[in-house]
Amino acid sequence: MFYNLICSIIIEIAKGVFAGQIVNDHLNPIHLAIATNGYRIQSQTLHIPDRIGFFSSGPPRLQVYQASMFFLLIMGPCYSIISAAFVVFVVRRNSIKIAAFMLSITVAQTIAIWALVCFDRHRAPGYEWEDWKA
Over residues 20-59, the pLDDT tens digits come to 777 777 888 888 998 999 999 999 999 999 888 889 888 8
With respect to residue 133, please indicate whether it lies within any of the assigned structural domains: no
Would you give the end-to-end CA distance of the chain in angstroms?
40
With respect to residue 106, please indicate whether it lies within any of the assigned structural domains: yes
Residue 134 has a pLDDT of 41
**Domain, as residue range, for 65:** 2-123
Q: Model-level pTM greater than 0.85?
A: no
Over residues 48-101, the pLDDT tens digits come to 998 888 898 888 888 988 888 888 788 878 888 888 788 778 877 777 787 788
Residue 131 has a pLDDT of 66
Residue 11 CA to residue 59 CA, distance in Å, equals 28
With respect to residue 27, please indicate whether it lies within any of the assigned structural domains: yes
The total of structural domains in the chain comes to 1
Q: Are 77 and 41 in contact (CB under 8 A)?
A: no
